[in-house]
Amino acid sequence: SVIIPAFNAADTLAETVASVLKGTHKHLEILIVDDCSTDATDKVAAKLVEQDSRIQYFRNPQNYGVSKSRNLMMYRATGEYVAFLDSDDTWEPNKLEVSLKMLADNPEVKAVAHALRYLDKRGNKLSYIPTYPTTKAEMQAIKETGESPWVFPSSVVVDRSILLKEGGFAEDWQVGEDTELFTKIAQKYGLLATTEPLGNYRIRGNSLTDKHWLKKRIASDCVKENQLRRLRGEKELSLNEYEQLCFKNLPVLKRLNKFREVLALHYMRKLGQSFLNREVLPTLIYGLATTVLNPQATLHKWKWMKADQKLSNQPAEGISHSAELNPHQSSEIGGRS
């Protein structure tokens, strides 16, 4: 079952769905859930439904947000496995075939993922987005240490029974809900990824992460805290509880320093987006801002951007997980929610 949440996605939805239909794995259903779009998403979806009986379209009675939208489709899905795909991302033709083979070959693993490529505003494939864990040793390390996987929603295929058991995505999280769920699944059930880029992630500047960048960082820290709590057998914290206990109670100077670090990461993310979209002035502005806020991290980002020029010119199949950067080094440019 392929779940595609859509909000004002009229410009990209048809391309996204087409990338699924062109795939080598044909036994599937596509569930499009429209979260009260105000553009022509409904008209685009209606045409798609007419073209293929495997496509179903649902429209929320009000704007629920991406977490609840995905969860609603999770209960409607009939497939043994669920694959998530954002309405402006695309898949390579062999994405589902490779993912399902990974699950069949590794029965102890309940979720799989893969590397991606960035898409710019014009749909051009750019640099490689690495992923983690890609070996069983790395997968075991996540279970033992509480480390987070580095995966995007559009790369994940997961056993539907596990999603139902865990209750899906946290609906009270504005951002970071994907990190929270996939980290929990990786730690409790096992998640393994391939270095092959089987999908494409579109760079856009109006994502929830961009709008709620401070909450995103707090959410990421909350995920780390709950990972350690699970290992110790302690009760997990809600996002609100974590924000009160571990952020707002910090001394003023530590809180200000934390804010500086988070703001630097936000501008660094914008720097990466502008660079990949070849936007010269925003790249210079965000580069200056990150240099002022965090010079050392900015130096690393410039190194990443230099490496990106090399990676962009390599064929997809020629890139390995270890090429130039690891997923944690490049993580601040990417995540959507």
The 10s digit of each residue's pLDDT in 142-201 is: 888 878 899 999 999 999 999 999 999 999 887 889 999 999 999 999 999 999 999 999
Distance between terminal CA atoms of the chain? Answer: 22
Q: Do 214 and 237 have their domain in common?
A: yes
214 and 108 both lie in a single domain: no
| C-alpha neighbours within 13 Å on the C-beta side of residue 26 | 2
Q: Can the peptide bond before residue 149 be classed as cis, meaning omega within 30 degrees of 0? A: no
- Of 321 and 95, which is predicted with more confidence? 95
**What does the mean pLDDT of the chain come to?**
84
Shared-domain flag, residues 161 and 304: no
Tell me: the pLDDT tens digits for 213-271?
677 778 888 888 888 888 888 998 888 888 777 666 777 777 777 777 777 776 777 77
Q: What DSSP designation does 44 have? A: H
- Do 90 and 160 lie in one domain? The reply is yes
Task: Please state, in angstroms and rounded to a whole number, the distance separating the CA atoms of residues 103 and 140.
Answer: 16
Boundary of a domain, candidates 142, 169, 202? 202
Same-domain status, 158 and 258: no
Do 238 and 195 lie in a common domain?
no
Shared domain check, 30 and 179: yes
215 and 120, same structural domain?
no
Question: Would you place residue 101 in the very low, low, confident or very high pLDDT band (cuts 50, 70, 90)?
Answer: very high
- Contact between 207 and 336 under an 8 Å Cβ cutoff? The reply is yes
What's the pLDDT band for 211 if we cut at 50, 70, 90? low
Q: Are residues 130 and 247 in the same domain?
A: no
List the domain range (segments joined by +) for residue 7.
Answer: 2-202
For residues 196 and 262, membership in a common domain is answered with no
Per-residue confidence band for 298, with pLDDT thresholds at 50, 70 and 90: low
Q: Is the dihedral of CA 91, 92, 98, 100 positive or negative?
A: positive
Residues 6+ apart with CB under 8 A from 96: 20, 23, 24, 25, 28, 83, 157
Number of CB atoms found within 10 A of residue 284's CB: 12
Domain count, the chain: 2
pLDDT score at 326: 44
The answer to whether 99 and 83 have CB atoms below 8 angstroms apart is yes
Residue 207: predicted pLDDT: 54
